[in-house]
Structure 1
């Protein structure tokens, strides 16, 4: 059967961010969902089977869809390719190449993830997890200890109690246990957060006086 790409899947494609300078990991996540929808995850791997004519045809058909999700300045990277698999490999090589500046930027981003206590703690946990993946994509390993340390050191002061408890359990505390404990925690009950209507950046924890 000839490959087809349904209108529903093109709608999925609209949710994929345009690939630019700093969002390779996020773009890859979104485009992966699109590829899963057309049963073509092999685009991100070894490509279609040579003896599967439908896969080979789909590989060529997917190239324009990939091309349209790339910012104009990076589209020339795909000029010499006729299949999505080859184009993906070229994009991967370009955006995952390791350089001192990109490594430093990725590490700096990891260590400066802000924790907004007005949002669910899971938002912060996911943000740190996503930031950990960027250096890894460049071949720089971020071990679980660093991942755990970043989670704890950037916690808002409203989470001082749970942070202190978790730090007391180090170095034996596993990353998975740390994440589980944080996910089930909330800010200290004695802390009141004052949120200015005009400026959310003015969040300020204030411990209530003991009674």
Structure 2
């Protein structure tokens, strides 16, 4: 009997610990999974300046579900670049829910396309979203991500941490992914089989290797050139 009571006490203690642990996690912004996404518990970043969102304002968006590849539309949505998650407001009760790459493979916001399932490189794997800038035989991707930067304290002055957004460009060519900078040498190096033609195209159209829109035009031109060769 004493052994049975001891076992009950242990189980009760474990239950209490698990209960308080779950409450503590909820207070830190951990999510509870639901069939239509992940229910978002309010997440407060103490003493963190700025925003984790690509755009603070909600806008219309849609997602492609991983389970059945069907598209779902939402009237109020935004992209959290810190968590790398699609967030939307449920129309029925105004609750905030989220999808990550375990639920969706693609989403659209403000005419921009974001997709995962690309080859891994560095700290990014196939469950991270990239903005698709050009989608042809060659692909131009932009990884938008946000970090929390905490400045080093000097003396008694304490500075607040802040969200800092960064971007990196990647090219997928022949199923291999490679990081590139917005500069002539990087772009010509990865498109070296059409280097001469690209130089002429850039010069005749007065393009700039450091401007994103012009880099997209270069990728489009390169795609046309290799298509003609085929």
Asked whether the two chains share a fold, i.e. TM above 0.5, the reply is no
TM-score, scaled relative to structure 1: 0.31
Which of 1 and 2 has greater Rg?
2
Query: Of Structure 1 and Structure 2, which has the larger fraction of its residues in helix?
Result: 1
User: Which has more strand, going by share of residues?
Assistant: 2
